[in-house]
Structure 1
Amino acid sequence: MDRNSVDWTGYIPAITTPFDRKGRLDLDAFDGQMEWLSAERMHGVILAGTSGEWFSMSSEERAVLFEAGARYRKDGLWVIGACNSYTSAEAITHARAAEEAGLDGILITPPPYVVPNRREIVNFYRAVSDATDIPMTVYNWPRGCIVDMDTDLLAELADIDNVVAIKNSTGNFAGFLTGMYRLEDRVRYFGLPTSELGADLALLGHGDGLMGSGGVLGADHPDFWRAITAGDRTRAIELGERDRVIMTEWFRPDYGVQFGNQQAIMKTALRLRGVPAGFVRDPLMELSTSEVARIEATLHKLGIKTQALA
C-alpha cells in the first residue's frame, strides 16, 4: 500500500467519545454527534483517539465504538479507528476490530509513556501491519508519546506494507516541512496549519490536510480545505483565522491546553452548541464554571450561538 491506496484528504478530526454522567459509553449521544459531524460535511472522523479518551476504554468498548462508527461510512466521509496502545498485541487486537467493523483505516502512535527506541518503534508498527490488511496512519505526537520521530524514522515506517499516511503533530515545524517534502509523494501527509503559511503550502500542492481535534467549529474546518481546492486563498485564510482563535485562546503552541483538559474542552464546546458530546470519564474531570464561561466567550466571539448546559 501507499498514498494511492486511499483518497483521504481535507479535515479529519479525532472526535470525542460520549460517556454519560456515570461513565458509561453513550451510543445514542455518539449517533447524534456523528449525524451533526456528517451534516457539517467533515471529510472523515477518527474514533477512539486521544480526543476520544482511548486510554480509559476497554478493548470491548473500542470494538463496539468501531462497529457503531462504521455505519456512517459513505462517499466523502472516511471513518478511521485509533489503535493506540502500550503493546503491539493490544494494537493488533484493536486493528483487527477496526478491520472486522469495516473501517477505512487505522491510526496508531508509538506506545505512549514507554519511550521506545528506534528499532522498537519500527518493530511495533511492522507487527501491526503484518497482522492485518487495513490501511495505517503513523501518528507522530511527541507531547503524548515523548519521542519525536524524525524524518529518517518516518521514512522507514513509510516503507512498511500497510502504511499509507502520516499525521505529524511535531512542534518542530522545520522537521514537519522536511518530512513533508521527503514523504508526501509516498504517503498522505497530514498536519498543515490553518494559517496563511499553511494555506500557501496547500495551494502549492503540498500536504493532504489536517487530522485535527473535535471539529467544534463544524463546517468551518472542512471548508478551509474546500476553499483550498477551489483556489480561494482569501476564503481559506478567513476560515483559518477562526480556527486560530480557538487554538490561541484554549491551547498552547505544543498542542497542550491552557486550562482544564483537552477532552472536556471539546465536549463542553460541542454541548454548548447543542451537540450531544457527553461527558469525560475518570481520571478526567469536567470544567469549572469559570472555564465553561471561557469556552462560551470564545464561541460568542466567533458568532456561534450557545445554549445552557444540562
Structure 2
Amino acid sequence: MNRDDVTWSGYWPAAPTPFTADLELDEAALAAMLQMYAGQGVHGVLLNGSTGEWFAQSPAERRRVTEVGVEAVAGRYPVVIGVSAFTAAEAAELARHAAAAGADGVLATVPPYAHPSPAETLAFYREVSEATDLPFMVYNWPRGVAVDLAQTPGLMSQLADLPQVAAIKDSTGDWNAMVATIEAVAERVRVFGSLSHRRGLALMTGGLGGDGAIDGGGIGAPYAVPFFEAAQAGDLKTARTWVERYQKLSAGMIAPDYSGRFASPISQLKAAMNLLGQPGGGAVRPPLLPVTDPELLQQITAVLTEAGFTPLAQEA
C-alpha cells in the first residue's frame, strides 16, 4: 500500500470525544459534531486520537465511539480511528473492530510509557498495521509518548515501507525533522504535519511535498479548510489570506511544543467549543480538569474574538 491507495489530504480535525456533565459518553453530541464538520467541509476526521481522550475511555466506549462516528459520517469524508494502546495486541483488536465497523483507516502511536527502541517500534507497527487490510497511519507524537520517531535517522522511511502504511501524522515539535520526514517519504506515503502556515504553504506548493494537517478539535476549520483547498489549487494569494487567519487562532491557543496556552490542550479546546456553542465540547474526564476560572475563560474568549469568532456571552 502507498499514497496512491488513499485520497487523504487537506484539513482533518482530531475530534474530541463529547462527555455529558456526569461524564458519560454523549453519543448525540458526537453525531452532531461530525455533522458540523461535514458542513464545514473538512477533508477527513480522526476519532479516538489524543484529542479524543482515548486514555480515559474503556475499550467498550472506544468501540462505541467508532460505531457512532462511522454511522454519523456516512461516507461523506474519511474516518480514521485511533487505536493507540499499551500493547500491540490491544491496538490490533481495536483495529479489527474499526475495520468491521466500516472505518476508512486506523492510526496509532507507539505505546505510551514504554519508550520502545527503533527495532521495537518497527515490530509494534508491523503487528498492528497488518492486523487488518485497512490503510494505516503512523502517528509520531513525542509530547504524548516521550519518543520522537523523527529523531532516529531512517526510521520514518522504514515505517513508510511497511505494507499497510499509507500515511504518517508527524507531530514532532522539530520543524526541520518534519521537513526531513517529508523529503524522505512523501513520494511513498501521505504526510500530515505542521503545514498550516506560510512555511507549510511553501513546502506544499514548492514541490517538496506534504498533504495536510490534523489538529485538535477543528475550531480552526473555517480557515484551515479553504487554506488547504486554495493551496491545492495553486491559489497562493487566497491561501495566504486564510492561513494568516488560522495562525492568529492557533498561535493564540497552542504553544510551539503543542502545549496549551491556558490549560491542558484538550481542556482549553473543549472550553473554546463550549464558548462557541459547538457540539462536541462538554466535559473532560479525569485526569484532566475543566477550565472554570473566569479569568482563563475570558482570555480564551479574547483569542476567539481576535480570530474573528463570536463567543457566547459568559454568565456573570
Q: TM-score, normalised by structure 1?
A: 0.96
Distance 1:25 1:209, change over 3 A: same
Once the 2 structures are TM-superposed, how far is the Cα of residue 137 of structure 1 from its aligned partner?
0.3
Report the Cα distance in structure 1 between the residues aligned to 2:269 and 2:285, rounded to whole angstroms: 13
Cα offset, 1:274, TM superposition: 1.5
Q: Indicate the residue corresponding to 1:77 in structure 2.
A: 77
Counterpart for residue 285 of structure 1? 289
Q: Is the 8 A contact 2:18 2:27 kept in 1?
A: yes
Q: SS at the partner of 1:12?
A: strand
Moved segments of 4+, more than 3 Å? 72-76
- SS at 2:149 equivalent: coil
Give the TM-score taking structure 2 as reference length: 0.94
Contact 1:192 / 1:207 at 8 angstroms: preserved in 2? no
In the alignment, which residue of structure 2 is the partner of 1:189? 191
Deviation digits for residues 89-135 of structure 1 (CA, Å, limit 9, x no counterpart): 11011111111110000111111121111111111111112321111
3-state SS of 1:86 partner = coil
- Amino-acid identity (%): 37
**One-letter code aligned to 2:273:** L
Q: Would you say the 8 A contact 2:220–2:250 is kept in 1?
A: no
Of residues 172, 175, 178, the one that matches 1:176 is: 178
Q: Give per-residue Cα distances to partners, 1:135-186, cap 9 Å, x unaligned.
A: 1100111111111113511111111111100011112222111111110011
Partner of 1:248: 251
SS in 2 for 1:122: helix
Q: Which amino acid aligns with 1:79?
A: V
* Secondary structure, aligned partner of 1:80: strand
Q: Which moved more, 1:35-44 or 1:289-298?
A: 289-298
CA distance in 2, matches of 1:107, 1:101: 15
Aligned partners of 1:22 and 1:76: how far apart in 2? Answer: 31
Structure 2, unaligned runs of 5 or more: none
**Match for residue 305 of structure 2 among 300, 306, 309:** 300
Structure 1 unaligned spans of 5+: none
Describe how 1:1-310 pairs up with structure 2 within 5 A: 1-73=1-73, 77-150=77-150, 151-205=153-207, 206-277=209-280, 278-287=282-291, 288-308=293-313
Instruction: Give the aligned residue type for 1:130.
Output: E
- How many residue pairs get aligned? The number is 310
Q: CA deviation at 1:76?
A: 5.5
